[in-house]
Structure 1
Amino acid sequence: MQRKGQRPVVGIIGNSYLINGSYPSHSAGTMNTAAVAEVAGCVPLIIPSDPRYISVEELLELCDGFLLTGGRPNVHPSEYGEEETPAHGAFDRGRDAITLPLIRACVDRGQPFLGICRGFQEVNVALGGTLHPEIRDLPGRMNHRMPPDGTLEECFALRHVVTFTEGGVFHRLLGAREVMTNTLHGQGIARPGCRIVIDGHAPDGTPEAIYVKDAPGFTLSVQWHPEWNAASDPVSRPLFQAFGAAATAWAAGERPGVARRRSA
């Protein structure tokens, strides 16, 4: 139960990273912590995503919600039944071991999460979906990767429209059927997982916004990076505010899955 005056705790999934190419660390971008603290209104807690150091069960008790961040390493293709190839890029098997069961547990419990980029892809894989190793190699698709030599502002600049389902979850939340987003990813959804609803697409048909059908809690995930400029961007701000409200409700003891079962 949340204590009076205490903000909900959001676990920010960290990535394995070598500082100066040699010193192992777990890291998360400052813009993630800023979005969680300043827009969602929660305490940001960076998680060392490795089963050697922490368990899914501990995380579920410790945190009120989870931000599934982006990151350079990709989900290992063995997690969706495919062989590893050079096109699949680098991996973070410790993160795979934490996030995939964590997502499934959150869906079952109604515990909120917000998926971003790799996190969006993790949600799909956790529920049985598959990924394309490289979107830009598919016929008719645009290059969704970041500019190779751009400044931070250029990398996160708005680059394409995302169109949402008429009357769908994202349309209702954001108040618009079309929004402009950045794009910094190489992989993308190939086959949607069980109960994954694709609620938004890029102009080339690439899935950009999903949620889990009939999940009792907050399960929104996006392929773009809403943490950039989250406090002032009209698309990012309501996403993080809604996620923060869901984490606040969880911290206050509201259990949507329990209520659903009792009313069934």
Structure 2
Amino acid sequence: MPTRPLVGVIACRREVEGHPSHMVTDKYLSALRDYGLAPVMLPVWEDIAPAEVAALVSRLDGLMLTGSHTNVAPQRYGAQRAPENTRADRDRDALALALVSVALERRLPLLGICRGFQEINVALGGSLYQAVQNQPGKLDHREPEGDKATRYAPVHDLEIRPGGALSRLFGASRSRVNSLHQQGIDRLAEGLTTEAVAPDGLVEAVSVTGAEGFTLAVQWHPEWQPREHPLHDAIFRGFAQACDTYRQRLVEGALSDE
């Protein structure tokens, strides 16, 4: 039986039963597994060394930066903390920003979701709105109240830019997506290309400009029941294919060296 491509999934640092813990929400792991990938959780420590990061990435066929209830520390992009920004995870910040650099250097397939989308922008020099709902002309993108079906239901249109990475995966110029975030991209990092926007102009998807491999990040949550949403299904199919291709190239390279 063929080995599934190994995808690193960044954890969040939280306290559980009085103990510091490393956690990944099951929906991300289940989505990857459902598309033929083997997820492995990457623990986070603020003092992780560059050599450790490089060693982790060298064993992977893909990398996912997930969403989280925490936010990137505003000091990471030269801002003061806003009153609405109350949840931090410095350990995750340290690993996530380091992972982006190494993953791009190794051309590793990279998928960012929500916080992960924001991490990629900050890692490459961009900045964030800490409370999008307070920005003139912007919608309130925070999650609606209700059960999971309500919170993850599509709530706004998405305009997909033609000719980009997301357009090549999905084909259509529009879709509808869920919205469960307070923060968002303010200054787009140099080196990122806008792939899709919300009706208020907020950037909702980006790719790394000129990247040879899969480097896509989205602000919404495609990991929630992706088989039921054509756009989400296309994203995970594309990511899975990229991870499989990356793994095959590594295997062929290793065999050719023997």
Instruction: Supply the distance in 2 between the matched residues of 1:53 and 1:82 (Cα, whole angstroms).
Output: 24
Structure 2: distance between partners of 1:9 and 1:56: 16
Aligned residues: 250
Given the alignment, which residue of 122, 127, 142 partners 1:125?
122
Q: Is the 8 A contact 1:67 1:114 kept in 2?
A: yes
Question: Contact (CA 8 Å) 1:38, 1:231: kept in 2 or not?
Answer: no
**Aligned equivalent of 1:5:** 2
Give the AA of the match of 1:113.
L
Higher relative contact order (CA 8 A, sep 6+): 1
Amino acid at match of 2:39: P
Letter in 1 for 2:97: L
SS in structure 1 at match of 2:13: strand
Structure 2 distance, partners of 1:107, 1:214, is: 11
Q: Residue 109 of structure 1 contacts residue 216 of structure 1 at CA under 8 Å; is this kept in 2? A: no
Aligned match of 2:222: 226
Aligned structure 1 segments of 4 or more residues deviating by more than 4 angstroms: 51-54
Amino acid paired to 1:207 = V
The residue number in structure 2 matching 1:261 is none
Is residue 187 of structure 2 the alignment partner of residue 191 of structure 1? yes
Q: Structure 1: how far apart are the matches of 2:15 and 2:104?
A: 32
How many percent identity over aligned positions? 38
Residue 76 (structure 1) shift: 0.7
Partner of 1:60: 57
- 1:246 partner amino acid: A
Q: Give the Å deviation of 1:52.
A: 5.0
Please, which moves more after superposition, 180-189 or 212-221?
Answer: 212-221
State the match for 1:31 in structure 2. 27
Gaps of 5+ in 2: 254-258
Q: CA offset at residue 83 of structure 1?
A: 2.1
TM normalised by structure 1 equals 0.90
RMSD: 1.8
CA displacement, residues 30-75 of structure 1 (integer Å, 9 cap, x when unaligned): 1111110112x11011111224578311221222111110001101
Following superposition, the deviation at residue 239 of structure 1 comes to: 0.4
Measure, in 2, the Cα distance between the counterparts of 1:89 and 1:187.
Answer: 12
Q: Residues 18 and 24 of structure 1 are in contact (CA less than 8 Å); yes or no, is this contact kept in structure 2? A: yes
In structure 2, how many angstroms separate the alpha carbons of the residues matched to 1:57 and 1:191? 28
- Equivalent residue, structure 2, for 1:240: 236
CA separation of 1:207/1:231 partners in 2, compared to 1, >3 Å: closer, same or farther? same
The residue number in structure 2 matching 1:171 is 167
> Which structure 2 residues correspond to residues 26-175 of structure 1 after superposition, within 5 A?
26-39=22-35, 41-52=36-47, 55-147=52-144, 149-175=145-171
Segments of structure 1 that go 5 or more residues without pairing to the other structure are 259-264
